[in-house]
Chain A
Amino acid sequence: MSDANVAHEAHEVVHRHEPPKSFIRKYIFSLDHKVIGVQYLMLALAAVLVGMTLSILMRFSLTWPDMNWPIIGMIKPDQYLALLTIHGTIMVFFVLTTAPQGGFGNYFLPIQIGAEDMAFPTLNMLSFWVTLVGFIVLLMSFFVTEGAPIGGWTAYPPLSAIASAGPGQGTGMNLWIISIAIFCVGSLLGALNFITTLLNMRAKGMSLMRMPLTCWAWFTTAVLALLAFPVLLAGGVLLFLDRNLGTSFFVPAGLYIKDVIQPHAGGSPILWQHLFWFFGHPEVYIAILPGMGLTSHVLSTFARKPVFGYRAMVFAIFAIGLLGFFVWGHHMFISGMSPYSAMAFSILTLSIGVPSAVKTFNWIGTLWGGKIRFKVPMLFALGFVSLFVAGGITGLVLGQTSLDLPMHDTYFVLGHFHLVMGVAAIFGMFTGVYFWFPKIFGRFMSERLGRIHFWITFVGVYCIFIPMHIMGIVGMPRRYSRFAENGQQIYYFLESLHPLVIFVTFAAIITFLAQFIFFFNLFWSMFKGKKCTENNPWEATTLEWDTTSPPPHDNFAGVHPVVYRGAYEYSVPGAPNDFVMQTDPDEFGEHEGSGDGHNGHKH
């Protein structure tokens, strides 16, 4: 692009940082944030493949409980619960937390703010390797005596604290805690890096209110991770001591398990729930915020319009992040905690819907009056908005104390959080992959395959998760390994749901299979995709489109970019193109330098 060249001439040229030569330093123990970002993405890809397979096995077991499957045999109740625990843990920690933040954030945060690398490259590398070790430790739990833990990803004690409380609660549970503790350390190192980088390494002219919304989202996510993971780590340490050294932080006196009175006294199971959900609720925003940022970014790019209400979007991200720390109690309405604090938690929870609604309005406002180009990343970003609304809005039901009473721990909750923090966040990742693929690999992914993938997945996830809400209203409890035994329904009030259960399973199988179109497209395009020779194939404005695809080792080939305007200057009247890059120093009539996040500017 000619603009980019003009822009580059304006920059001061300084010496380049040469990339390391050896294969190991370049691709394995690399200090380059881009390589680390791709490593994180590959880890998430491996993890999502495992997590997704586990979920399909769970659907099989629920729908045909007595079936003898080839290779795996019949899925026994405890095996189902092990699948469930590891599915949840893998998805929440190793997919939803790693890919949007560790993957895309690592790759693009430094580039988008015009930095050469992260502030602490060595810590960055450590953060990835630590996380990988955590993943391996988690998978090891499948291969120890009695297998993986069965207590769910929330690991409520005493079930998780007493080894004899169930199969998998021995060695498997210990491995789970160790894995999570390792993961916490990795995430903290990452968060430390993100925050410092963003605060300290922005290019000349990149004021906070000129940053792309992706950067705001990654920054807020990093702050949430920084404040939430230490609490989980502390809780994990206490739980580990309860299990292995006989302390009684979470285990009360007089537990009678497997004909034995347990030698603990006075602990509080609710204490764990408080510690866990103090981390657990911000965690759902850790999963979704990067997707929100990216959606804003992509909607603006492909609608050829500035983000509607940039400043409101920034405030909304902050408000969600902040309120996220004061609502953890809504996971515990039925736990036996104080009913008065439950009331406060409920009101705070519903107020978190306000910034979420503001974001939705602004997304729709961004599309309004646009000239939308329906490329695959745009399709997924639009899908994100639709799914975020569909999943998020039932939070208004669950956040109310009195409605949580019937809905808690039913399929209603499953439908809600899978749509909003699972599928919507995953749509955010798909958006990221299709959008940034040309930048990362210098090739395009196939549009045709991408579209097929989108249509099946978008319809598929609606078919899977909307019916779950109905199941929940009828009263179907979650975490049941089967609803029928020997062909007999166990609960009469769930009998009528059987056709719906089968429908969901088939929808899940089709959606599952459609993901292989994506995997094929991804790996095929890496080597055989159409070459992307330009810097800025999408005609976008932010700094990552100012450098080659893929970017050189030091991102801008020894040039320090200088930023002259806000991140989303599309369709500026008087400008030669319908996009003006952040590094473009030209002025255009009365609109020069606008888009600093001021709504409603006019001179």
Chain B
Amino acid sequence: MGTMVTSTEKIAQTKIGLGEGKRPAGPNGGGNGHGKHGDESSSRFTPLKYKIGMWVALAAVTMTFTALTSAYIVRANSSNDWRPIEMPRILWLSTALIVASSITFEIARYALKRGKSSLYNRWLMLTVMLGLAFLASQLMAWRQLVAQGIYVASNPHSSFFYVLTGAHGLHLLGGVLGLDYLLLRSWRKGYEEHAEERRQARVNSVALYWHFMDGLWIYLFLLLFLWR
């Protein structure tokens, strides 16, 4: 009673990517494609969750460093007190270490993919060592600057040097903790559903983070010492 349907026309009915085109009669009208847990009695685990989560987290990290480095660029041009510091030589070592760590991580991942667990553990250990060595090398760079009498407040460039390397170091420390967690997991295996899938997903997302930190360092390195 009293119901009517307004006749409306189709104007610009463009489909957006994830929407469902045809009017579905059944439940397959879209969804995210992961709702395939019909017959298996399981919690809803999907490896995609870790991947999306990590990318989203990296977006936040990117914004943090975008803010800091745009402040760096603005500050460099806003005043005449900008005197770049001499680059501590040891930063080349840092760069080599972190690039090497990305490579060893990839080797570890490859080993895991082929099911060679002990090989994976060893390369992962090496990655942790390289990560820690990178942090030590960064600390050495700080000590070298301090020895020259260059502190956080000495000049704007040194302020940014300490802030950017410090923030990056903290994030990398987070990555080292992630690696430790992976190691711990592979030494003390507990029972869980989809153990292998979960393991892969964890390794992949830590790897993503680790390589991102590697790339971030190279960006910061270029910005601090090669961009003028």
Contacts and interface: CB of A to CB of B under 8 A. Distances in A.
> In the complex, is A directly touching B at CB under 8 Å?
yes
Given A249-B75, A271-B75, A564 B23 contact: no
B152 A247 contact: yes
Contacts of B11: 600
Contacts of A226: 56, 59-60, 63
Contacts, number: 205
A268 B28 contact: no
B153 A203 contact: no
B71 A564 contact: no
B29 A245 contact: no
Interface of A is mostly: loop
Contact of B20 (A115, A196, A209): A209
Nearest to B17: A208
Interface in B41-91: 41-44, 46, 48-49, 52-53, 56-57, 59-68, 71, 74-75, 78-82
B5 interface: yes
A33 B68 CA distance: 33
A573 B3 contact: yes
A252 B43 CA distance: 57
A193 to B, nearest CB: 8
Nearest to A566: B29
Nearest to A197: B49
Interface string A587-600: 10001111011111
Nearest to B8: A600
Interface in B155-202: 156, 159, 163, 167
Interface in A561-603: 562-564, 571, 573, 585, 587, 591-594, 596-603
Nearest to B63: A230
Q: State the majority secondary structure of interface residues on B.
A: loop
A12 interface: yes
B24 interface: yes
B154 to A, nearest CB: 9
Most chain A CB inside 10 Å of its own CB: which residue of B24, B28, B29, B46: B29
B32 interface: yes
Interface string A203-222: 11111111000000000000
A205 B30 contact: yes
Contacts of A203: 31, 35
21 contacts: A17-B43, A188-B60, A200-B32, A200-B34, A202-B35, A203-B35, A206-B31, A206-B32, A209-B16, A226-B56, A227-B60, A229-B60, A231-B63, A234-B67, A235-B67, A241-B159, A266-B79, A275-B71, A564-B29, A585-B26, A602-B5
Interface of B: 3, 5, 7-11, 13, 16, 18-20, 23-32, 34-35, 37-39, 41-44, 46, 48-49, 52-53, 56-57, 59-68, 71, 74-75, 78-82, 152-153, 156, 159, 163, 167
What 3 pairs between A and B have smallest CB-CB spacing?
Answer: A207-B30, A600-B8, A204-B35
